[in-house]
Amino acid sequence: MKVNYPNPSITSNVTHNPKFQSHGMYFENALNKSNDYYRNTSKAIIYKKPTPIQIVRVDYPKRSKARIIEAYYQTPSTTDYNGIYREKYIDYEAKETHNLSFNFKHISNHQVEHLRKIDEQKGIAFVIIFFSKVNRVFLIDIKPFIELFKQGLKSIKISDLEQIGMEAKLGFVPPIDYLQAVDQLYFSHQNFDK
């Protein structure tokens, strides 16, 4: 008798919707579901940051059917997520790649600088990367990320992240247990005092 066990992959564990087929939407949806779980279980309070936009024109066919017709980005957004975990401020940027390495061109200098400033103020600051080709998620603290960034490398390989990062466990509830990786990276040896 054949038994089909559930597959704890990011793409199999989220709502299948055509809008999630590109631009890291499966990954973002899985992170959002994970953050919902963390909030609902009082483990952490972490939210996706809204992108600041300036509305220029709105169509009002009915008050309840108002539509934004034209808008532009007010300022470059900083990072994707922020909140509080274990009495510490947490801030991170989420990225997805379809390769076996993450290219530095996919993160902005102002995002790296923002995370550096969070780290400088003793907050938890990292980049979380989903490698969709192999269904693996890694966290890398902003300090080693910046060191690699400054070395003039074009990308970070999975093999690098296996050495200097922390792999997040994929599952069902939550889909990405990245706080378990945060615990190992920041709290396991109480090396958080930097």
pLDDT in tens, 144-169: 999 998 888 899 999 999 999 999 99
Domain ranges of the chain: 18-193
The pLDDT tens digits of the residues spanning 22-34 come to: 445 789 999 999 9
CA angle 42, 20, 60 (to 5 degrees): 90
pLDDT on residue 168: 97
Q: Which fold has domain 18-193?
A: Trna Endonuclease; Chain: A, domain 1 (3.40.1350)
Identify the pLDDT of residue 80.
87
Predicted pLDDT at 10 = 53
Calpha distance 164→159 (Å, rounded): 9
- Look at residues 96, 77, 134 and name the one whose alpha carbon lies nearest to residue 20: 96
* Distance separating alpha carbons of residues 146 and 127, to the nearest angstrom: 10
φ and ψ at 188, to 5 degrees? Answer: -65, -35
- As given in the structure block, the two tokens for residue 49 are 């940051």
